[in-house]
Amino acid sequence: MDTDTIAAISTPTGEGAIAIVRLSGDDAVSRANELFQGKDLTTVDSHTMHYGKLLDPETGEIAEEVMASVMRAPKTFTREDIVEINCHGGLVSVNRVLEIVLAQGARLAEPGEFTKRAFLNGRIDLSQAEAVMDLIRAKTDRAMNVALKQMDGRLSGLIQNLRQKLLETLAQVEVNIDYPEYDDVEEMTNDIMQEKTAEVRDEIENLLQTAKQGKILREGLATAIIGRPNVGKSSLMNTLVHENKAIVTEVPGTTRDVIEEYVNVRGVPLRLVDTAGIRETEDIVERIGVERSRQVLTEADLILLVLNYGDELTEEDVKLFEAARDMNMIVLLNKTDLEQNIDIERVKELAGDNPVISTSLIQEEGIDQLENAISSTFFEGEIDSGDMTYVSNVRHVQLLKQSKQALEDAREGMEMGVPIDVVQIDVTRTWELLGEIVGDTVGESLIDELFSQFCLGK
Ligand code: GDP
Ligand code: ZN
C-alpha cells in the first residue's frame, strides 16, 4: 500500500482567515520538521499545535509564519501520521506553503486521496467515504445532516445488520443440513429461510423507499417554471432566489449551456432548470419549441405552472397543462392584485389533484403558501422527524435493487421447490451485494473510480 507522504490544501481556497495544508504519510512529521523552525516536531506529543516559521528549502530563508499540528497514527483521519500546517488564509500564502512542502519531497495528493487512505486503512467504510463527498457538496442543512449521519455510520450499521441476519440464516441452514436432528429438517430449513429472507427483503424495500427523497436532497428537486410570456416566471424565479438562500455549487460535469440555480426552500434544495432560457428570451416555450420543452418537463421532478389571474385562460395555457399531465405540478394563479378574469373552477379542473396557489409576486403575497406546497410535495404528507436514514447514493440504490431482486429469486425458488443449496446461492449473492455498499466486497478499480470524484484536499 502507498504510504508515501501526500500533501494538499485542505481548506476551501480564498475563504477564511486561516488555511491549512495537510500532510499524511509515514514520514509526514519528519518532512514537516525539516522545514519547520521552532520546536522539534519529531519529539512533540501527538495532537499538539506549535508556532514556528517555515523555511524555503531552496533558499533557506523564512517563508511563512505558521502553526503546525502534529497528529500521530493511528488516531487520525487517515490512520497515518498527519501534520496540518495552518497559515494565513490568503491564496498566495497557502499556495506558497504547499509549494514548499512539495519542493521538500511530499507528493501532491490526488483528489480524495486522504479519504481513500482512511478507507484503505479501515478507518471508515465505503459508504462513509462517499458521505464525505456528499458533505462537501451538500446544498442544504438537511442534505448535510443526511451526509453526516451516513458518515457517522448509520447506513453502514443498517446494512451490516442485514448482512449479519443473512449470514446467520445461511449458517443455520448449513447446520441443519449437516446435522439433521429431526425428520422434517427440510421443511424447517425452508421455513427459516422464507422468514428471514422476507424480513431482509422488507427492510431493503424500506430503504429503497427513502431513495427518492435521498436523491432530491443530494441533487436537488429539478424544478421547471413554465407559463406563457409575461405571466411572471422571471418574477417567480427572482422571488425564490431572493427569499431563499441561493446555493453556490461546484458540481463537476454541470454543463455551461444549461444554467441551473439552486435555492433552499425549507431545507429542500430546488434546482431551477433551464433558467437561462427563461431569462434570456422571456419564454422557454417559444425559445426551445414545444418538443424540447416537453423534454425539459419530463426531466423535472416538479413543475411550477404560472397563469395570469388577470387574463382569461388561453389555448396555450391548456396545452401547458397537457404537457405537464401526470407530473408533480403546482399551479400558480399570479397577479391576484389585478382584477380576476381567469376561470378558477376550470383551472382547478385542469389541475386535478395538484395544488393551486394564488400569488401576487409584485406584492409578495402567497409566497408562504407556495413554499408550503413545495415542501409537502417533497415529503408527500409525511412528517419529517429529522431522524431518517435516507439512501441518497445512486450506487447504493442500484445495489439495494439488485439485492432485493436476488432475495425475490430466492423466494421464487423456494416456492417452486428448488433444493435449498441452490437457494443459498441467491442468499449468498445478496450478502455480497450488500457488502459492496460498505466496501467489503468491491474491486480496486471501483475504489479508484469512486475516490477520483472527490475534491482535492479531502
Ligand atoms: P415572464 O415573462 O413570465 O417571465 O414574466 P415576468 O416575470 O417578466 O413579469 C412580466 C410582468 O409582470 C413584469 O412587468 C412584472 O413586474 C409583472 N408582474 C409579475 N408578477 C406580478 C404580479 O403579481 N402582479 C402584477 N400586477 N404584475 C406582476
Ligand atoms: Zn421572464
**Closest ligand to residue 235's CA:** 1
**DSSP state for residue 447 in the 8-state scheme:** H
**DSSP state for residue 326 in the 8-state scheme:** T
For CATH 1.20.120.430, the residue range(s) in the chain are 133-210+392-451
Per DSSP, the three-state class of 14 is coil
pLDDT per position as a tens digit, 148-192: 777 778 889 999 999 999 998 888 887 777 766 666 667 777 888
Q: Per-residue DSSP letters for 244-276?
A: S-EE----TT--SSS--EEEEETTEEEEETTHH
For CATH 3.40.50.300, the residue range(s) in the chain are 220-379
**The domain 220-379 is classified under which CATH number: 3.40.50.300, 3.40.50.2300, 3.40.190.10, 3.30.1380.10?**
3.40.50.300
What CATH number should be reported for the domain whose range is 133-210+392-451?
A: 1.20.120.430
Task: For residue 362, report the distance from its CA to the centre of ligand 1, in Å.
Answer: 7
Handedness of CA 43, 48, 49, 50 (dihedral sign): negative
* Ligand 1 touching residue 230 (CB < 6 A): yes
Q: What is the mean pLDDT of residues 348-371?
A: 95
Per DSSP, the three-state class of 51 is strand
Does the annotation list 306 as a binding residue? no
* Confidence (pLDDT) at 389: 75
* Confidence (pLDDT) at 386: 56
* Ligand 1 touching residue 402 (CB < 6 A): no
User: Cα 386 to the chain's mean position, in Å?
Assistant: 16
Does the annotation list 253 as a binding residue? yes
* Ligand 1 touching residue 366 (CB < 6 A): no
Which residues 6+ apart lie within 8 Å of 248 measured at CB? Answer: 262
Band of the pLDDT at 277, cuts 50, 70, 90? very low
Sheet strands (E) in 79-144: 82-88, 107-108
Q: What is the mean pLDDT of residues 234-245?
A: 78
Task: For residue 259, report the distance from its CA to the centre of ligand 2, in Å.
Answer: 15
Higher pLDDT, 394 or 204: 204
Q: How many CB atoms lie within 10 A of CB 92?
A: 8
For CATH 3.30.1360.120, the residue range(s) in the chain are 6-109
Task: Tell me the CA distances in angstroms from 315 to 228, 319, 320, 322, 348, one per residue in order.
Answer: 10, 6, 9, 11, 16
CA atoms in the 13 A half-sphere facing the CB of 63: 20
pLDDT per position as a tens digit, 396-421: 999 999 999 999 999 999 999 888 88
Task: Judge contact between 110 and 53, C-beta under 8 A.
Answer: no
pLDDT per position as a tens digit, 307-346: 999 999 999 899 889 888 888 899 999 999 999 999 999 9
Which residues 6+ apart lie within 8 Å of 99 measured at CB? Answer: none
Task: Judge contact between 113 and 107, C-beta under 8 A.
Answer: no
**The domain 6-109 is classified under which CATH number: 3.50.50.60, 3.40.50.300, 1.10.10.60, 3.30.1360.120?**
3.30.1360.120
Task: For residue 235, report the distance from its CA to the centre of ligand 2, in Å.
Answer: 7
* Ligand 1 touching residue 234 (CB < 6 A): yes
pLDDT per position as a tens digit, 10-32: 876 555 678 899 999 999 999 99
